[in-house]
């Protein structure tokens, strides 16, 4: 099988597995005061420092969570908020807020390239509310489109609002600098960059009052209760330490991705690549094959030995049009006929060629029918 679904989850690096095995074999609860506990605590704090250093923030800002979804939910749980502004292309873990939040929720449209327009944000911020949080993702999980987060954060701060970015999909694919982005909070997840599933972090300014999602033993500075997933956290930190190599490898990914789009674009002028005209993650391509449903495509590629996705992995089983594609102005039929291809450091040109062949084969079958 050729795995082209790295945005759903990435294979774990062998070095990460070694690190996790060591930590799991050694054991200990970081909250215990005896020597075994103190060693566990030192592993926890070393991991925190490694991640902090790599994304340029103070280690004290890092709150380890059970994953990206939890981190995003925690970010939106700032005390006394009365107004939340998000974009129409957010991941469901942010997008769901409109169902549960009792205050005002504004959903900013995105343009045909998937970008949030600064004036739309300014308009939403002009509403008379006291405590506003803006949450806009750094790189989209489906299209890879990269927002100008620093500008959006500055606009938000000028209006007195807090700014959170979901940087889960960007980590390890483009350089991330918490300070340079000028955000107040940022969510990250381990399993999108070669770390394990089940661990993530919310990086949050210490002054922000977060209402914990779960209460308990007061771990993570009282912001996230529960015994820490120590091996997962150590694995996360190990994966993060490979970010420079990952980003280097993305140059090849980008070439391969571009070649896929060129080949398909030449062969099928009706094909469309969402976000193709703007800054995108180097590994991601969301491709429209008109008239062939995403589900059919995913199945057909699977039979050809290729793993791709019909969009976000979270809503499997449910065949629903991609909200990201519709937000970018695509119709329902288009939103139901796109697939996402996401490459990784180990993806080769041969893998891409196999995908291109399979794509053309399916496209021909549709044309002939």
Closest CA to 69 of 187, 229, 149: 187
Shortest separation between residue 187's beta carbon and another protein, angstroms: 11
Phi and psi at 15, nearest 5°, equal: -65, -35
Between 21 and 151, CB nearer to another protein:
21
Between 202 and 327, CB nearer to another protein:
202
Enzyme catalytic residues: 314
Q: How many CA atoms within 13 Å lie on the side-chain side of 93? A: 23
Rounded Cα gap, residues 233 and 364, in angstroms: 47
3-state helix/strand/coil string of 107-176: EECECCCCCECHHHHHHHHCCCCCCEEEECCCECCCCCEECCHHHHHHHHHHCCCEEEEECCCCECCECC
Take residue 267 and report the two structure tokens written for it.
């062969």
Shortest separation between residue 155's beta carbon and another protein, angstroms: 27
Between 226 and 329, CB nearer to another protein:
226
Shortest separation between residue 218's beta carbon and another protein, angstroms: 6
Between 17 and 271, CB nearer to another protein:
17
Q: Measure CA of the first residue to CA of the last residue in the chain; give whole Å.
A: 28
Shortest separation between residue 317's beta carbon and another protein, angstroms: 8
Shortest separation between residue 242's beta carbon and another protein, angstroms: 16
Shortest separation between residue 179's beta carbon and another protein, angstroms: 28
Between 188 and 230, CB nearer to another protein:
230
Measured from the Cβ of residue 157, the count of other Cβ atoms closer than 10 Å reads 16
Between 27 and 160, CB nearer to another protein:
27
Buried b (16+ CB within 10 A) or exposed e, 212-223: beeeeeebbeeb
Identify the burial level of 160 via C-beta atoms within 10 angstroms of its C-beta, where 0-12 means exposed, 13-18 middle and 19 or more buried: exposed
Q: What is the four-CA torsion angle of 346, 352, 354, 359, rounded to 10 degrees?
A: 140
């Amino acid at each position: 099988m050729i795995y082209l679904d790295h945005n759903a989850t990435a294979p774990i690096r062998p070095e990460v597995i070694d690190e996790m095995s060591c930590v799991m074999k050694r054991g200990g609860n970081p909250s215990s005061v005896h020597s075994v506990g103190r060693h566990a605590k030192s592993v926890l704090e070393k991991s925190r420092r490694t991640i902090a250093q790599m994304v340029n923030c103070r280690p004290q800002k890092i709150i380890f969570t059970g994953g990206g979804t939890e981190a995003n939910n925690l970010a939106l749980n700032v005390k006394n908020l009365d107004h939340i502004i998000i974009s129409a292309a957010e991941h469901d873990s942010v997008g769901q807020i409109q169902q549960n939040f009792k205050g005002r929720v504004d959903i900013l449209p995105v343009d045909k390239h998937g970008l949030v327009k600064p004036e739309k944000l300014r308009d939403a911020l002009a509403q008379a509310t006291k405590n506003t949080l803006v949450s806009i993702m750094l790189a989209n999980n489906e299209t890879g489109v990269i927002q100008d987060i620093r500008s959006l954060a500055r606009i938000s701060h000028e209006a007195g609002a807090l700014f959170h970015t979901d940087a889960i999909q960007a980590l390890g694919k483009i350089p991330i600098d918490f300070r340079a982005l000028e955000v107040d909070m940022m969510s990250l997840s381990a399993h999108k960059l070669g770390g394990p599933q089940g661990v993530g972090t919310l990086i949050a300014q210490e002054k922000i009052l977060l209402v914990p999602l779960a209460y308990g033993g007061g771990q993570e500075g009282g912001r996230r209760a529960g015994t820490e997933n120590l091996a997962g956290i150590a694995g996360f930190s190990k994966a993060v330490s490979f970010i420079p190599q990952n980003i280097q490898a993305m140059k090849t990914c980008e070439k391969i991705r571009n070649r896929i789009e060129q080949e398909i674009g030449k062969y099928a002028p009706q094909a469309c690549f969402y976000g193709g005209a703007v800054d995108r993650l180097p590994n991601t391509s969301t491709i429209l094959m008109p008239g062939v449903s995403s589900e059919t495509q995913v199945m057909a590629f699977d039979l050809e030995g290729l793993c791709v996705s019909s969009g976000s992995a979270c809503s499997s089983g449910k065949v629903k049009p991609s909200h990201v594609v519709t937000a970018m102005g695509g119709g329902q039929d288009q939103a139901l006929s796109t697939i996402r291809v996401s490459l990784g450091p180990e993806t080769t040109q041969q893998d891409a060629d196999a995908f291109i062949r399979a794509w053309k084969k399916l496209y021909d079958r549709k044309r002939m029918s």
